């Protein structure tokens, strides 16, 4: 087995994604490292298996892959389960992994849900008030 093959076996699991991104964009290691928020040495240590890549770096890599057209952004509810799993593994809130478009739609969905819930609560409180008044009236007789 060659030294390159041994190195590939030990490298961080996301290394193939970093390499694919580099080849697709034609960027220099310095530019990629800057985009991911690490030094070139950190990337090389990940390649050799001496260091892992943090969840923040993996997240930045995912963003870079979307920007480069290598991956599609998260845009629908079918991926929420995958986001929840990622959130559990990285101890980061699910919202950290949402694209801005998805986040906007989710904010609107939640605002609508809250407004409906508040209207339901208000209506329920009114019905409860009326039921209590009727009960009181019936108990008097």
Q: Are residues 4 and 51 in the same domain?
A: yes
Number of independent structural domains in the chain: 2
Q: Are residues 121 and 134 in the same domain?
A: yes
pTM over 0.85: no
CATH code: domain of residue 57: 1.10.260.40
Q: Are residues 126 and 61 in the same domain?
A: no
**Residue 18 to residue 10: CA distance in whole angstroms:** 15
Q: What is the token pair recorded at 12?
A: 């961080």
pLDDT at 60: 83
Q: Are residues 61 and 28 in the same domain?
A: yes
Residue where a domain terminates, one of 22, 49, 71: 71
* Furthest C-alpha separation in the chain: 96
Contact 54, 12 (CB under 8 A): no
Q: What is the pLDDT of residues 68-121, one digit of tens each?
A: 887 766 655 545 556 656 655 665 555 565 666 666 777 887 888 888 888 888
Residue where a domain terminates, one of 43, 71, 99: 71
Range of the domain at 66: 1-71
């Amino acid at each position: 087995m060659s030294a390159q093959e041994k190195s590939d076996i030990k490298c961080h699991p996301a290394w193939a994604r970093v390499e694919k991104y580099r080849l697709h964009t034609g960027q220099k290691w310095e530019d990629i490292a800057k985009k991911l928020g690490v030094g070139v040495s950190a990337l090389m240590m990940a390649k050799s298996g001496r260091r892992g890549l943090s969840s923040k770096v993996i997240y930045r890599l995912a963003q870079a892959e979307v920007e480069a057209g290598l991956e599609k952004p998260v845009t629908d509810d079918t991926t929420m389960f995958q986001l929840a799993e990622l959130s559990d593994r990285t101890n980061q809130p699910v919202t950290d992994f949402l694209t801005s478009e998805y986040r906007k739609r989710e904010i609107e969905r939640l605002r609508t849900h809250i407004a409906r819930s508040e209207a339901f609560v208000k209506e329920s409180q009114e019905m409860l008030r009326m039921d209590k008044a009727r009960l009181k009236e019936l108990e008097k007789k």
